[in-house]
């Protein structure tokens, strides 16, 4: 036995040395083969040109070899020397083929294969919904936009394609390129294999023999003789800290351990499973009696001091009727529960409870569960209703008093303003430059530009005079047509002095300033308004004691007439209908609509406000808005009712002015709170659909002076801009 063990010990080192020697020889042979291959490649690259031509005509010696790139062949080569040499020679052949192609001028990456997919769209792995609002779907490798293909397919085309196209079942939509692609047979087979839970590569062998990392032979020396770590036999401090945190959380109640529910409790069962359903149906409407309220602090035998009655409260409680008392008893305090006497009203309370139970009727009330958000109308977002004015762009400074009235020329180039400083100023809209100033010698109440674009005239109301100005801010053709309108028919001059209205021409210094006509009224004029065609002009003189409150003047014939024999109420403002021969007259509480051709009243609108301040008519003519001094704005639909369709109470102080835009669905209101509120008001051609009214913007900028804010507001005729004049002697443009 001792000799046999000695022989075994002597044989083990010999066998180990023999294996080390064999591995060294194998490694040297592999290195020699690799050096030999490199030398062949070097000689192949540095050969003369004649040999290259000959090689091009002949087949390469490596052309018949296949590419060795699979894992199985490499693993076989690691065990077999012959397989390894064959794999290396195949690699050399492929390398030579690529070099030949490169020398011929071809692209070495033309037939290169890669595991990654060739993606033209370089946006990366992002949700493609981000590009749904853009015309492109991403960017290519050069940074240029990849535009979406035009998809005109509807459901009918899709159904026909499904019936007729044999490749429809394997056509998929590529979201990154926006196009449809047909899967090849290999791709369909790959998808099927993945759906069945198999490997994607059909050549992959999942049951290939495993190679043991360690051999079965017991080695003399261990693979690793590193001493064990200290942490392997010492308790972990990190785990100790985690456990202490969990214990602390359980103690504090943050983590509650699972409770094991005991099954010892009795199980419940239905007593009435065998009962007849007809008996239960009789008591289906049964309502349980309301429970008695639980006792509060005042009913305690030792209530807090604030619940005990004082002498005054007790005397007051005794004087009250029992039905009016808050408490049916007087709270009392006892030092211990033994000293509490029996309740004197116990039987009385039980008797009242019994009366309540069988005398008071109880009924089931059907409540409708309505979500409060469903009652609020769903309005569109202001972002979807653009354009509308949002920011202050220009400030027109120059007046020294309240700017009571402003008006924009039909072309939108000029702006006229009248102020309490006795001047009328003409501004260029785009530059806020004052082009002309006319001193009229009195506080200007109202200015109105002639809406006819073929003439250039301005009506100004101050004191008891209406002035017709020609500011000379247009071309020669417009100025000549304005002159022809002002000259009029001379035969009307004989009747100028008759009646309460006197027409006279300006002369001297007034003529040089641009004042052409002066219309004298019997009383102070507060407002002027032009007809759409530009020949007729209406003036308002509010006065309770007289029927001469409204006059209509014809400029071309220099005639004036009072359309009403008597006025019902104090007239505040007037306006002409933009299309039909209608005339709107607003008094303190109502708006009357008159037909000037038939000379009769057609409609009377009830404003539901205390004092109307201003009025504006929609360009279509079927809608009217009224502002009032009691902070309200009323929208009337003339086809719907004589009462307001909508009442807007957005302002905190009196509404001074309202205006419609000629082209855009916008209207605005100006108030003494220093703000201008712009609203979107869409009017539909369908008479069954109500107008859409949405407040979109609150514009601020004017300074409140002497409790007065914004006095007048008007829109630009062509742009979504708005002008406002205020008591701070400024005019502001919001765009």
Express each pLDDT in 575-624 by its tens digit: 999 988 999 999 988 999 998 888 888 988 888 888 899 999 999 888 99
**Residue 471: predicted pLDDT:** 85
Identify the band that residue 289 occupies on the pLDDT scale cut at 50, 70 and 90: confident
Instruction: Tell me which of 711 and 12 has the higher pLDDT.
Output: 711
Express each pLDDT in 312-368 by its tens digit: 999 999 999 888 888 888 899 999 999 999 888 889 889 988 888 877 777 777 777
**Residue 447: predicted pLDDT:** 93
d(CA 286, CA 141): 77
**Residue 83: predicted pLDDT:** 43
**Residue 491: predicted pLDDT:** 40
Omega within 30 of 0 (cis) for the link into 401: no
Q: What percent of the chain has pLDDT over 70?
A: 78
388-415: average pLDDT: 90
H-state helical runs in 390-449: none
Cα dihedral 51, 55, 61, 65 sign: positive
**Residue 493: predicted pLDDT:** 46
Identify the band that residue 506 occupies on the pLDDT scale cut at 50, 70 and 90: confident
Identify the band that residue 85 occupies on the pLDDT scale cut at 50, 70 and 90: very low
Closest among 698, 704, 648 to 672, alpha carbons compared: 704
d(CA 354, CA 510): 97
Express each pLDDT in 26-39 by its tens digit: 555 555 565 665 55
Identify the band that residue 20 occupies on the pLDDT scale cut at 50, 70 and 90: very low
542-567: average pLDDT: 83
**Residue 705: predicted pLDDT:** 87
Residues sharing a CB contact under 8 Å with residue 410, sequence separation 6 or more, in sequence order = 449, 450, 451, 452, 453, 717
Backbone phi and psi for residue 576, each to the nearest 5 degrees, phi listed first? -90, 150
d(CA 183, CA 199): 19
Instruction: Please say whether the beta carbons of 110 and 102 come within 8 A.
Output: no
Give the 3-state secondary structure of residue 186. helix
Q: Average per-residue pLDDT in the chain?
A: 79
Q: Looking at the DSSP assignment, which residues form a beta bridge with residue 348?
A: none
Asked if the model's pLDDT at residue 243 lies above 90, the reply is: yes
Asked if the model's pLDDT at residue 536 lies above 60, the reply is: yes
Q: Looking at the DSSP assignment, which residues form a beta bridge with residue 427?
A: 415, 434
Asked if the model's pLDDT at residue 101 lies above 80, the reply is: no
Instruction: Please say whether the beta carbons of 427 and 435 come within 8 A.
Output: yes
Radius of gyration, CA atoms only, the chain: 50
Identify the band that residue 10 occupies on the pLDDT scale cut at 50, 70 and 90: very low
Instruction: Please say whether the beta carbons of 626 and 603 come within 8 A.
Output: no
408-430: average pLDDT: 90
Identify the band that residue 222 occupies on the pLDDT scale cut at 50, 70 and 90: confident
Express each pLDDT in 692-731 by its tens digit: 888 998 998 888 888 889 999 999 999 999 999 998 989 9
**Residue 79: predicted pLDDT:** 43
**Residue 34: predicted pLDDT:** 58
**Which segment of 162-176, 213-227, 432-446 scores lowest on mean pLDDT?**
213-227
**Residue 548: predicted pLDDT:** 81
Closest among 724, 721, 129, 630 to 406, alpha carbons compared: 724
**Residue 109: predicted pLDDT:** 52
Express each pLDDT in 623-635 by its tens digit: 999 999 998 899 9
**Residue 616: predicted pLDDT:** 93
Instruction: Please say whether the beta carbons of 558 and 512 come within 8 A.
Output: no
Backbone phi and psi for residue 269, each to the nearest 5 degrees, phi listed first? -140, 160
Instruction: Please say whether the beta carbons of 389 and 697 come within 8 A.
Output: yes
Instruction: Tell me which of 5 and 251 has the higher pLDDT.
Output: 251
**Residue 251: predicted pLDDT:** 92
d(CA 479, CA 408): 18
Give the 3-state secondary structure of residue 79. helix
**Residue 281: predicted pLDDT:** 57
Asked if the model's pLDDT at residue 475 lies above 60, the reply is: yes
Identify the band that residue 311 occupies on the pLDDT scale cut at 50, 70 and 90: very high
**Residue 18: predicted pLDDT:** 52
Express each pLDDT in 632-680 by its tens digit: 899 998 888 888 888 888 888 899 999 999 989 999 999 998 899 999 9
Identify the band that residue 492 occupies on the pLDDT scale cut at 50, 70 and 90: very low
**Residue 712: predicted pLDDT:** 92
């Amino acid at each position: 036995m001792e000799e046999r063990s000695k022989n075994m010990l002597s044989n083990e080192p010999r066998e180990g040395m023999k294996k080390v020697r064999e591995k060294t020889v194998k490694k040297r042979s592999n290195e020699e083969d690799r050096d030999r291959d490199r030398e062949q490649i070097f000689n192949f690259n540095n050969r003369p040109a004649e040999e290259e031509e000959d090689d091009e005509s002949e087949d390469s010696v490596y052309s018949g070899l296949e590419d060795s790139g699979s894992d199985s062949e490499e693993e076989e080569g690691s065990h077999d020397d012959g397989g390894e040499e064959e794999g290396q020679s195949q690699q050399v052949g492929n390398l030579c083929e690529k070099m030949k192609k490169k020398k011929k001028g071809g692209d070495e990456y033309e037939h290169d294969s890669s595991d990654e997919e060739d993606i033209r769209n370089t946006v990366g792995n992002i949700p493609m919904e981000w590009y749904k609002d853009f015309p492109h779907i991403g960017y290519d490798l050069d940074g240029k936009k990849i535009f979406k293909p035009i998809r005109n397919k509807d459901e009918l085309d899709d159904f026909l394609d499904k019936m007729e196209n044999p490749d429809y079942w394997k056509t998929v939509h590529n979201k990154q390129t926006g196009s449809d692609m047909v899967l090849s047979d290999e791709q369909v087979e790959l998808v099927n294999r993945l759906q069945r839970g198999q490997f994607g590569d059909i050549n992959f062998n999942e049951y290939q023999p495993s190679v043991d990392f360690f051999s079965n032979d017991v080695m003399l020396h261990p693979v690793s003789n590193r001493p064990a770590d200290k942490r392997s036999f010492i308790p972990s401090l990190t785990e100790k800290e985690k456990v202490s945190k969990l214990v602390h959380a359980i103690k504090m109640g943050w983590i509650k351990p699972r409770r094991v529910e005991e099954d010892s409790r009795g199980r419940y069962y239905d007593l009435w499973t065998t009962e007849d359903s007809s008996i239960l149906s009789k008591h289906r409407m049964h309502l349980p009696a309301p429970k008695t309220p639980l006792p509060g602090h005042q009913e305690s035998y030792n209530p807090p001091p604030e619940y005990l009655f004082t002498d005054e409260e007790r005397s007051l409680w005794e004087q009250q009727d029992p039905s009016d008392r808050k408490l049916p008893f007087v709270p009392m305090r006892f030092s211990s529960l033994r000293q509490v006497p029996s309740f004197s009203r116990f039987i009385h309370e039980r008797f009242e409870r019994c009366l309540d139970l069988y005398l008071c009727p109880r009924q089931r009330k059907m409540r409708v569960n309505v979500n409060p958000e469903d009652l609020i109308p769903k309005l569109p977002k202001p972002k979807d209703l653009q354009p509308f004015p949002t920011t202050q762009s220009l400030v027109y400074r120059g007046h020294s008093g309240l700017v009571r009235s402003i008006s924009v020329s039909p072309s939108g180039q000029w702006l006229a303003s009248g102020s309490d400083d006795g001047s009328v100023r003409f501004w260029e809209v785009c530059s806020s430059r004052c082009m002309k100033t006319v001193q009229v010698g009195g506080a200007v109440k109202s200015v109105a530009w002639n809406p006819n674009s073929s003439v250039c005239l301005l009506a100004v109301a101050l004191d008891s005079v209406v002035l017709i100005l020609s500011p000379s801010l247009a071309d020669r053709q417009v100025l000549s047509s304005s002159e022809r309108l002002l000259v009029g028919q001379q035969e009307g001059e004989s009747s100028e002095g008759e009646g309460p209205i006197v027409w006279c021409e300006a002369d001297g210094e007034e003529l040089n300033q641009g004042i052409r006509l002066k219309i004298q009224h019997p009383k102070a004029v507060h407002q002027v308004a032009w007809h759409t065609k530009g020949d007729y002009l209406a003036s308002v003189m509010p006065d309770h004691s007289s029927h001469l409150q409204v006059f209509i003047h014809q400029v071309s014939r220099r005639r004036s007439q009072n359309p009403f024999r008597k006025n019902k109420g104090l007239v505040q403002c007037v306006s002409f209908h933009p299309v039909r021969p209608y005339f709107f007259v607003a008094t303190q509480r109502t708006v009357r609509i008159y037909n000037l051709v038939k000379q009769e009243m057609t409609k009377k609108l009830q404003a539901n406000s205390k004092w109307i301040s201003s009025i504006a008519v929609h360009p279509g003519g079927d809608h009217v808005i009224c502002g009032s001094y009691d902070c309200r704005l009323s929208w009337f639909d003339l086809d719907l009712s004589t009462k307001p369709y909508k009442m807007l109470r957005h302002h905190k102080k009196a509404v001074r002015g309202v205006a419609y835009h000629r082209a855009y669905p916008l209207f605005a209101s100006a108030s003494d709170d220093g703000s201008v509120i712009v609203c979107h008001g869409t009017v539909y051609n369908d008479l069954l659909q109500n107008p859409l009214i949405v407040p979109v913007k609150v514009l601020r900028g004017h300074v409140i002076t002497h409790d007065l804010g914004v006095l007048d507001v008007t829109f630009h005729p062509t742009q979504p801009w708005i002008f406002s004049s205020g008591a701070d002697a400024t005019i502001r443009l919001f765009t």
